[in-house]
Homo-oligomer: A and B are copies of this chain.
């Protein structure tokens, strides 16, 4: 990628990135009216002081310089680091003061991830916030309330729901693991589902470098070879093996994507007490060091390749060792890490509606919102697991997916801030109504009532008597209805016939080229 790419132009000129004009005339997706990614009108909350942030940065520099990070099973990575001036001792890489930070300087502060429908392209970085679905669960909780292994049809249904959800900006990646498809062919069907059943942006496979290469190849079929080389069309989840290790698989995927100019979210995955110290400052320090090493490595693979500073941080129960979610300590880390990313000049990704609950009960809701609310307040740019996460990430829940999406829509509305226009000030209404009357019928209310308040498709605010007459239903029962309705109303977005056939052909050839593997 040379300095004259679309991404670079987008960055320099503050535009949302090029390349979409030519595709502007493609048809819009069907289904409900989708909202663009969030452009926050509210400034982010700065939890840590300048001094606190500088202290953590100094400590992270010590980790990079004195302790170092291991790049395991990848001699090429070690050679790249040696050439870049790092101190390589076996698989341990120690970084001279400022090396990682300096390398990260070539990464864009903001980039566009293109969707095949340009109306659904998202900006990642700056004042933007993008919500993406849950990623990774092997199980689903289905519409009959059964917890079972996920299938490719479940996967497609989550893609359909994400397509339908107005405040879900992204189709995500492994929205659930389709375990009925061989593990070495699964990624083909997953990419296929994202392309075919949605027109929102999506994520590539990271479980093997070959699968990353397949993801890029399929993206080229959809977007065109030249467009993919000059633009980000895939965003990909590269987890560190905390503490302080990157493994062969993730490095292989990272190299593939970075060299293809596609975005890597470099995410230290930390359960504090196990993969990092028990303190928030300790988690932040280690997270920053690991993320910097990974993002710097991506820049060595291709300067200017989009990277995202990722953080998945929660705690463990010190009694049982089980992960816990929605507690105060990870929220502190989330705010702090978002600040560190802003100072580094790169976009930031965190988790979203995380919870440990087995059912979509009040525990699930409290825990999920205790993470979701801070993502917006902190100014997180890419919120993974924003909807559908249940049971510590083991289960994708259809019901919780739409429940969380309702919360996302509220956060999107909140991010618009307070309207201070003349209509927003409503002085005419206050004058018209005066003391002791009511606003129900006044002109201002009449003019604004349709859009004045967010309307939830799920919450019940009727009288107790009416609620009881209607069956005394809980929100997850209403959510079950809504999932069925969205799936019934769903209309597949049009896909260019040639593209569809070329994808079919690619998938068939790849599947035929190797025996099924299930482990």
Q: List the interface of chain A (C-beta within 8 A of B).
A: 42, 45, 47-48, 52, 55, 59, 62-63, 66-70, 72, 92, 147, 241, 243-245, 272-282, 284-286, 315-329, 331-332, 336, 356-370, 373, 377, 391-392, 394, 403, 406-407, 410-411, 413-414, 417-420, 423-427, 429-431, 433-440, 444-445, 448-450, 452-456, 458-464, 467-468, 472, 474-476
Task: Decide if A322 touches B463 in the complex (CB within 8 Å).
Answer: yes
In the assembled complex, the CB of A377 is this many whole angstroms from the nearest CB of chain B, namely 6
Q: How many copies does the complex hold?
A: 2
A356 close to B273 (CB less than 8 A)? no
User: Within the complex, what minimum Cβ distance (angstroms) separates A450 from chain B?
Assistant: 7
CB-based contact A273/B453 at 8 Å: yes
Interface centre among A320, A322, A327 (most CB of B within 10 A): A327
- Are B320 and A462 touching (Cβ within 8 A)? yes
Chain B contacts of A323 at CB under 8 A?
A: 461
Closest 4 CB pairs of A and B: A282-B426, A365-B365, A277-B426, A278-B452
Look across to chain B and name the residue whose beta carbon is closest to the beta carbon of A41: B47
> Which residues of B have CB within 8 Å of A454?
327-329
Residues A361 and B476 in contact in the complex (CB < 8 Å), given A70-B435, A435-B244, A454-B327? yes
- C-alpha gap A244/B432 in the complex (Å): 13
Q: Is the CB of B434 within 8 A of A244?
A: yes
Contact status B436-A241, CB under 8 Å: yes
Please measure, in the bound complex, the distance between the C-alpha atom of A362 and the C-alpha atom of B472, giving whole angstroms.
14
Contact of A453 among B69, B327, B445 (CB under 8 A): B327
Contact residues in B for A435 (Cβ distance below 8 Å)? 67-70, 92, 243-245
- A288 to chain B minimum Cβ distance, whole angstroms, is 12
Contact B63 A244 (CB under 8 A): no
Shortest Cβ gap from A401 to chain B (Å): 13
